Every structure is written in structure tokens, then in C-alpha cells.
Amino acid sequence: MSGAGGNATQQLRLARHHHRNQRQSHYSHTSFTSTDNQNVRCSPFATYLPTNTPNRVVFALLIINKAGGLVYNRTFAPGLQKLDGNDYLILAGTFHGIHAISRQINPAPAAQHLPGYRRPPTTGLESLESSHFRLTCFQTPTGVKFLLFTSPEQPNTEVVVRRCYEIYGDYVMKNPFYSMEMPIRVEKFDRALGGYLVRP
């Protein structure tokens, strides 16, 4: 009995060893095909995260001048209900009014302040989120508003919309042919935004 038991134990160990070698051999050859059709090897413990994650999307960008007029509108990815030009104008004007009202809704100031105290500036509505999209608003010191529509899963939307503002400053504000408060039709601005917001 002891001899039979020893043989069974030895066979079990050999089977486990063989299975372990097969698994390691499989992992050592694990690979995936990249976007440029190159076969890339990876560690069995590495996690491949594709860059084109469907849940992280920038849908659209709207720019509203300080008077509440829509001066720029562009869609970067499908996913939102399509609106016509008049709907976008109504959306811009409505948000401008809500933003102005929200700036007035603040906690009551304290009765007494130290000499030289200055109340921090109010920002108004900065973010609005539903089950399908997130709206992030960034207002510049001159009153221009950037409205960024993204999926709720999109991270760092404040950073993204501020980068859009930087691109606006580089290609629109420095354009000698652009008139303030007028619709933005600057080709270099379109290309720069597309290069930043459109996923390959």
C-alpha cells in the first residue's frame, strides 16, 4: 500500500509540474496586435489598456462670449442627441442666464471681516452631470465660457477644458484677423483642437 501510495503521489507531482510548465510557456508567448499591426509581447502580469476606451469620450465643445452668444460649436464624437443651430443658440443663451444666477447664490457673508478682507470671486455653475454626459464650464477672466461635453467617466475634465482655453489663446486671440465677440472661424484653431480632443 505504501508503494502504491508513493507512486500516486509521484504521478500527481509530475502532473502538476507539467501543467505549471505549460502555463508558463503560454504566458511567455502572450501577445496582442497593436494599432500599427505590430505583434507586441507582454508580461503575463501586465494589463493592456487600449487608448480608445469607449466609456471615456469628449463629445463636443461650445464657446460662449461674454454677452451669451454662441461663437463656436464643434462635435468631436457621436453619442449625444443631434441639435440644430437654433437649439445650440438657445442652449448657449439659457446656460448663460443660469450661470449668471448661480453666481448670485452664495452663502451669506459674515457680519464682520478683518480690515483689507476681500471676498473671493464667485465662479457660478462649473459642472452639470446626468446619467449620459457631463458638462464642464470654464469661464475666462474676460467672461468667455467654455462648455465641454464629455461622458461621465471622462477624468480630469477641468484640465481638458483649460487646455482648450490655452489653444484658444494661441490660435484665436493671437490671430490678427479675428474680431472679438464674433463667431470663430480659424482653421488652425480647428486643427489644434482636433489634434487634442479627437481620438485616433
How confident is the model at residue 83, as a pLDDT? 79
Domain limits at 129?
A: 58-106+119-197
On average, the pLDDT of the chain sits at: 75
Residues 37 and 62 occupy one common structural domain:
no
Q: CATH number, domain at 135?
A: 3.30.450.70
Q: Hey, what's the cell of 189?
A: 484653431
Residues 29 and 73 occupy one common structural domain:
no
Residue 111 counted as domain residue: no
Residues 31 and 69 occupy one common structural domain:
no
Residue 10's beta-bridge partner residues? none
How confident is the model at residue 82, as a pLDDT? 80
165-178 per-position pLDDT tens digit: 999 999 999 999 99
Q: Please say whether the beta carbons of 193 and 164 come within 8 A.
A: yes
pTM higher than the cut 0.85: no
Terminal-to-terminal C-alpha distance of the chain? 67
**H or E element in which residue 21 lies:** helix 2-28
Residues 35 and 87 occupy one common structural domain:
no
Residue 52 counted as domain residue: no
Q: Is 28 a residue whose pLDDT tops 80?
A: no
Residues 151 and 83 occupy one common structural domain:
yes
Please give the C-alpha separations between residue 137 and each of 39, 53, 76, in angstroms, as whole numbers.
42, 23, 17
Please count the helices (runs of H) and the strands (runs of E) in the chain.
4, 7
Q: From the CA atom positions of the chain, what is the Rg in Å?
A: 28
Residue 192 counted as domain residue: yes
What does 29-79 look like in DSSP terms, one character per residue? T-EEE-TTS-EEE--TT-----S--TTS-EEEEEEE-TTS-EEEEEE-SS-
Closest CA to 53 of 137, 150, 148: 150
Q: Hey, what's the cell of 32?
A: 496582442
- Parallel, antiparallel, or unpaired for β 39-41 and 58-64? unpaired
Residues 63 and 16 occupy one common structural domain:
no
Q: Is 49 a residue whose pLDDT tops 50?
A: no
Residues 62 and 16 occupy one common structural domain:
no
Residue 155 counted as domain residue: yes
Residue 184 counted as domain residue: yes
Residue 114 counted as domain residue: no
Q: Is 46 a residue whose pLDDT tops 60?
A: no
How confident is the model at residue 36, as a pLDDT? 39
Is residue 107 classed as helix, strand or coil in its secondary structure?
coil
Give how many domains the chain has, as a whole number. Answer: 2
